Amino acid sequence: MKRNLQQGFTLIELMIVVAIIGILAAIAIPAYQDYTVKSQVNAALAEVTPYKTAYEIAVNEGETVTTTLGNTISGTYCTITVAAPSTTSAAANSLDCKLDSGTVNALVKDKNITLTRDGDGVWDCTSTIPAEFKPKNCS
């Protein structure tokens, strides 16, 4: 008697494969979402950081900082607000990046990254972003 060879997969084999794919997806999707949020936060920080240089140039040349940079600057991920007095003194001034773009993840939407300049010209980064997404150089 000739025996037929099995061709294809059995139902149980297919169910095991589906279960494995489900387990991998349950791990990978949240990790990917965390990665995208972190990348959006870093992109927002990268948007506001170049304005430090423009801010310093305006102060060093004796110009009014808000006149040179403007009061509000729209970026891809955030709206940058320049907080500076009308004088050229740079004590306690800041650049504030509010993540308010429609493309920003809800976990960080309406959170802020603030770069504050002290009277000595040293910049400090603070943020209202949750700790797991916060850039390493921001407190």
Q: Nearest to residue 106, comparing CAs of 45, 33, 46?
A: 33
**DSSP structural state of residue 100:** -
What does the pLDDT read at residue 68? 66
Please give the pLDDT value at position 19. Answer: 96
What pLDDT is attached to residue 6? 67
Per-residue pLDDT, 18: 95
> Any residues with CB less than 8 A from the CB of 74 and at least 6 apart, and which?
80
Q: How far apart are CA 39 and CA 134, in angstroms?
A: 10
Task: Give the predicted TM-score (pTM) of the model.
Answer: 0.74
The pLDDT assigned to 92 comes to 53
Query: Which pLDDT value is given to residue 90?
Result: 47
| pLDDT reported for residue 37 | 92
Domains of the chain are 11-127 (3.30.700.10)
pLDDT at position 17 is 94
Quote the distance between the C-alpha of residue 36 and its chain's center.
Answer: 9
Q: How far does the chain reach from its first CA to its final CA, in angstroms?
A: 77
Per-residue pLDDT of the chain (139 residues), as tens digits, is 667 666 777 889 899 999 999 999 999 998 898 999 999 999 999 988 888 888 888 878 877 776 667 778 888 888 888 876 545 554 458 888 899 877 888 899 999 998 888 877 888 889 999 999 988 888 7
